[in-house]
Structure 1
Amino acid sequence: MKMTRSELLDVVYRFYPRGVQKIQRIYVPPGEPVYEDTEEHRRLVEAANRGRAEYPAWEAMIHRLGDRYGLQNESLHLFSGGADPAYSARIWLTDETALSFHVSLLGPYYGIHLPGIPEEEPVAREIAREIESTYPGYRPIPPEIGNEVVPDVAISVVLMGEAKIYMCLFSEVWTWVDP
């Protein structure tokens, strides 16, 4: 089944309120909506809670990959109460270059963010195999869709009109690898 922009935007809008900046209540006039009070944010927190409960599957997968590569787990923020939308990790390809990969907690999606060096291809294939065997039915989001801006959503430190589908489904950690 072909993945569509519309399908992914439906997922994004289920977990992120439209038109609401992510700022604290003290900076919002009385009666104005606050991000943390929205139904969408509540769903995001529930997804993060499921992610904490299902963490052993992620941990086993990254241990298998970590046995073969220099791996850094970026998902530990979940255990400090974070409402991250995905598990995230990076594998170091060289001393200065890493690729990152993410498994969404919001839907059956994953992404591998490639830095654009020759060493990435075999590693990316191996990561995809590991993800697809650990999370049956999960599919990669194609770059032509994942890099599209969601104009009416703000996430964490990303302002309204700057968040991309990849960031919404995988977090701003997606931006930490620049091709």
Structure 2
Amino acid sequence: MTITRSELLDVVYRFYPRGVHKIQRIYVPPGEPVYEDTEEHRRLVEAANHGRAQYPTWKAMIRRLGDRYGLQNESLSLVAGGSDPAYSARIYRPRDSGPVPSISDRASLSFHVSLLGPHYGIHSRGEPDEIPAAVAKEIEATYPGYQPIPPELGNEVVPDVDMDGLMMGEATIYVCLFSNVWTWVDP
């Protein structure tokens, strides 16, 4: 099934209010909308709560992948009570050809499973190996019905959403559905 730009923006706008800056109440004039008071933010918090409840499924999947690859779970802020929109992890590829990851390894692939809709993303440097396909296969087996967001849609800017660390006009569909962690691995 093909996913469309319109469908993805509908998901984004369900969880992120349009035109509302994410700033604290003390900086907003009385009567003005505050991000945390919006229905969209409430839905994001509910999705994160659901993600915490379903965390054992994610943990089992990354354990399986971690048995094969040097992996770092980036979902710990979600477990600690954050309102992250996705589970996230990074895979480290060795700089040398040795089988054991070392301190000099580099993150060269991140992957994310959205808590906001049946979507996932794999952000890779494009190194020629089987890792992206293996990760996709594992995600699709663990989360039936989830599908990847194509780059031509995921990299599209959402002009009227404010996110942590990004001003309006800077967040992409990928960042909205997977968090700023998406940007931690450059392709």
TM over 0.5: same fold? yes
SS at match of 2:121: strand
Cα distance in 2, alignment partners of residues 22 and 51 from structure 1: 22
SS at match of 1:113: strand
Deviation at 1:27, TM superposition (A): 1.1
SS at match of 2:13: helix
Percentage of identical aligned residues: 76
1:74 match: 74
- Give the unaligned 5+ runs of structure 1: none
1:105 match: 115
Q: Any residues of structure 2 matched to 1:38-117 within 5 Å, and which? A: 38-94=38-94, 95-117=105-127
Bigger Rg, structure 1 or 2: 2
Cα distance in 1, alignment partners of residues 139 and 67 from structure 2: 15
8 Å CA contact 2:47, 2:116 repeated in 1: yes
8 Å CA contact 1:97, 1:115 repeated in 2: no
1:24 match: 24
Q: How many residues align?
A: 177
After superposition, the CA RMSD in angstroms is 0.8
1:176 match: 184
- Is 1:3 the counterpart of 2:3? The answer is yes
Cα distance in 1, alignment partners of residues 79 and 57 from structure 2: 15
- Is 1:160 the counterpart of 2:162? The answer is no
After TM superposition, where is structure 1 displaced by more than 3 Å over at least 4 residues in a row? none
Deviations 1:4-50 (A, max 9, x none): 00000000000000000111111111111110000000000000000
Higher helix share: 1
1:114 is matched by which residue type in structure 2? S
1:14 match: 14
2:97 match: none
Cα distance in 2, alignment partners of residues 19 and 25 from structure 1: 16
Deviations 1:39-95 (A, max 9, x none): 000000000000000001000000000001100000010122100000000000131
Q: Give TM-score scaled by structure 2 length.
A: 0.93
Cα distance in 2, alignment partners of residues 96 and 81 from structure 1: 28
